[in-house]
Every structure is written in C-alpha cells, then in structure tokens.
Amino acid sequence: MKKKIVWILLAMGTVGAIAATVIVGINPTITVDTAVVRRGPLRIVVSEEGQTRVRQHYLVSAPVAGRLTRIGLDEGDAVSQGAVLAHLYPLPEGARSVEMAQAQIAAAEARQAAATAQVAELRERFEQQQREVERGRTLAKNKLITKENLEQRELALASARQRLSAAQATLTASKQELRAARAALLGAMPQQVEGQAVEVRSPVDGVVFRVLEKSEHVVMAGTPLLELGDTHNLEVVVDVLSEDAARIEPGAEVTFKQWGGEALLSGGVRLVEPQAFTKVSALGVEEQRVNVIVALDEIPPTLGAGYRLEASITTWAGEDVLSVPTSALFRSEGTWQVFLVRKEKALRRPLSIGHRSEKDAEVLKGLAEGDMVILFPSDQIEEGVGVQSRRS
C-alpha cells in the first residue's frame, strides 16, 4: 500500500513538472532593454560638417601700368593697414591710354552681358532636362519607356549640367575682366609723375594669403598682385540639406567640435543663403544643399581659414520636456507606438510625439513621467508577453 502511494506521488510530481515546463514554453519570459520616460531639457539639432573662411577677401591690384619691383612678402606674413606692399614705376600714360581703357570697359561689359544671357538660357535648359529625367524615371518605373530611353535623358542632363558650369565659369571670367578694365582706366589717368614710384598699400590689417606677382617685371593696370584677408574675422560655412535649412533661423545657436582643439566652440547663425545648389553626395545621390553662414563668438588663435569643423545647429530647444528614447518608437496602424513594462508584462501603447532628435522625442500624449518602455522592440515582443527588464 505504501509503495502504491509513493508511486502515485512520484507520478503526480512528474506530471506537475511536465505541466510547468509546458506553461513556461507557452509563456516564455524575454529579457529586454528598457529606459524610463523622463522630463528635462531637449535640444533638436542639425549636424553637418562646416569649413572656416575669411569673411572678407581683398585682392590688391596694380593701380597703374608700370614696372613692378620684387615683392618681398610671403604667404602667411602679417600686414597692417596702410603698410607698403609693393612699388610700381608707372609707364608714360596719355589720352590714348584712357581711350583704350574706356574701350576695354565697353568690350568687357558687352562680354559680361552676353555671358549672363547664356547662363540664364542654359540654366532653363538644365532645369527642363531635370524635369525630363524625373518624368522618365516615373515612366520607366511603370515600364512605359525603355531603360535605354531613360539613360539617354540622364546623359542629356549631365551634358546640360556641364554646359551650364562652363557658361558660369565664362561669366565669372567676364566679371573679372570688367573689374580689371575699370581698374585700368583709373591707372590710365595722367596723375603720376614718370620715374616716381607708386606705393601700393594694404587696405586692411590682415595676412597675406597669396602673392600673385612675385618677381620684378612690367604689369598692366589692374593686374592682381596679392590676396589679403583678416584671419581675426573668420566665419564658418555649413552646407545643409534644403529641408533642414527651412527649419534654421538667423540667430540660432551653433556649437562646433572636432576642429583641432579640446573645447567646444560656439556661434550663431548669421545668414541662411536664399539660393540652394545641387551637390552629389558620397553615395552618388544628387542633393539640394543650402549654405548656412555662422559667426563665431570667439576665434582661437590656432584656427585658420579652410579648417574643417563639425557643426550642430539648434533648430528647437525646450527646458521642461517629457521625452522618450527614439529607439523605443515604432510605427503601427499609422501611429507611433511603444511597449510599456507593467508587472513584468509588455503592454502596447499608442502615443503622439512632437519634436524629435536623433536620440529622444518629445511626448505630447500617451506616456507619463516614470513610465518604463522597451528599447529596440523585436518581433518577439507582443501584447501581454512576459518580460524581464534590463535597464539601459
């Protein structure tokens, strides 16, 4: 009798163990990473690379035609406003030189007008070809045109882009020619005494960027001699996507890192340029970019022109914001949702969010401070599944 009771107890224990195993198998406990919904400051930024540049460049040109003596300055030399940069011994000038200079101005103005018209025409053709490519891609996607037809449209777009770039370069050259012609007219005025040196002086305190005419020789009036700039008046150019530029306002706070120093640099947006431009990304994708000009609050002495920086431009900031990690968010049924942890169970919760950064999102509705949410929810997480929290 006792043996029978023992066997019965053993059988019941075995059945209970099997049942427990089956229950655990049906309702497994999943270990998840979690985070707590907190209230505090939230800052939304646009992060892109930027480059320093001198805010104002000065191109020093020869005021008259004459013999230029050797320029003793080198790139990087500091100069003060009014300092003598070069000496010129003028050539004899007269009424004939003035007339020639005036004729050069008229010719330069005509070339500039023609180049401007050509750029406008080629820009219209380029934009039209862009629209043709966009239509072609839609048609090719729907198999209404052949792949070869689309390639021909893209080739025509590339050709139009090259012609536009060449025309823009011609327009830039024509502007410089007109500038040189006008400078030549000033130099052609009979104001200098033959044999007396004309001193070419610095218009600003700054640094010599380039010496364009180093050796002694005869130069024409308007010939560029040196390029100067004030390195104490640097600004930063940050090109951002056009959709990001639409959210950036003048005066927005900017911080910089990875510029070569340990401390963060700060500044403010001075200008968001009104004209976007096309830039090909590292992946070969055409993007519409906009230059954002930033004025630095303080310029370190070791920072020079052309230096690279990593910029973070603030587009929105709040001091008392209820936020949730963006890694907890997922889209379902057209709404943002998260999984809450309540009594070691996963509960699905829809919510409304506002501003978003790379790490956190503003919660407008659906969560409360102190709620625990699951980070990076996998397909195994479902409503009511058992979870074991592992705080992140």
Q: Could you tell me if residue 295 is inside a domain?
A: yes
Q: 255 and 239, same structural domain? A: yes
Query: What is the per-residue pLDDT for 316?
Result: 92
Query: What is the per-residue pLDDT for 392?
Result: 59
The per-residue DSSP string of 109-171 comes to HHHHHHHHHHHHHHHHHHHHHHHHHHHHHHHHHTTSS-HHHHHHHHHHHHHHHHHHHHHHHHH
Q: Could you tell me if residue 244 is inside a domain?
A: yes
CATH number at residue 235: 2.40.30.170
Q: 136 and 206, same structural domain? A: no
Q: 131 and 266, same structural domain? A: no
Q: 211 and 85, same structural domain? A: yes
- Structural domains counted in the chain: 4
Instruction: Look at residues 75, 60, 74, 73 and name the one whose alpha carbon lies nearest to residue 201.
Output: 60
The backbone region for 343, taken as left when phi is positive above 0, alpha when psi lies in -120 to 50, beta otherwise, is: left
Q: 84 and 217, same structural domain? A: yes
Those residues with Cβ within 8 angstroms of residue 128's Cβ, 6 or more apart along the chain or in another chain: none
**Cα torsion 109, 114, 117, 122: sign:** negative
Query: What is the per-residue pLDDT for 192?
Result: 42
CATH number at residue 200: 2.40.50.100
**Which residue bears the tokens 């320029």?**
71
Cα–Cα distance measured from residue 137 to residue 192, given in angstroms and rounded to the nearest whole number: 65
Boundary (domain end) residue, out of 318, 340, 357: 318
Q: 289 and 251, same structural domain? A: yes
Query: What is the per-residue pLDDT for 28?
Result: 67
Query: What is the per-residue pLDDT for 191?
Result: 43
Residue numbers of the domain that contains 201: 58-90+192-229
Q: Could you tell me if residue 14 is inside a domain?
A: no
Boundary (domain end) residue, out of 318, 337, 356: 318
Q: 74 and 50, same structural domain? A: no
Q: 198 and 183, same structural domain? A: no
Q: Could you tell me if residue 366 is inside a domain?
A: yes
Q: 156 and 35, same structural domain? A: no
Strands 78-79 and 57-61, sheet pairing: unpaired
Q: Could you tell me if residue 305 is inside a domain?
A: yes
Query: What is the per-residue pLDDT for 324?
Result: 94
Q: Could you tell me if residue 104 is inside a domain?
A: yes
Query: What is the per-residue pLDDT for 21?
Result: 47
Q: 157 and 123, same structural domain? A: yes
Query: What is the per-residue pLDDT for 249?
Result: 93
Q: Could you tell me if residue 15 is inside a domain?
A: no
Contact 126, 160 (CB under 8 A): yes
Q: 175 and 291, same structural domain? A: no
Q: 313 and 245, same structural domain? A: yes
Q: Could you tell me if residue 222 is inside a domain?
A: yes
Average pLDDT along the chain, 392 residues, taken 10 residues at a time: 52 52 57 92 93 87 86 89 87 58 80 87 88 85 83 85 86 81 59 63 88 88 88 89 93 92 91 93 89 93 88 93 94 91 92 90 93 91 87 64
Boundary (domain end) residue, out of 275, 298, 318: 318
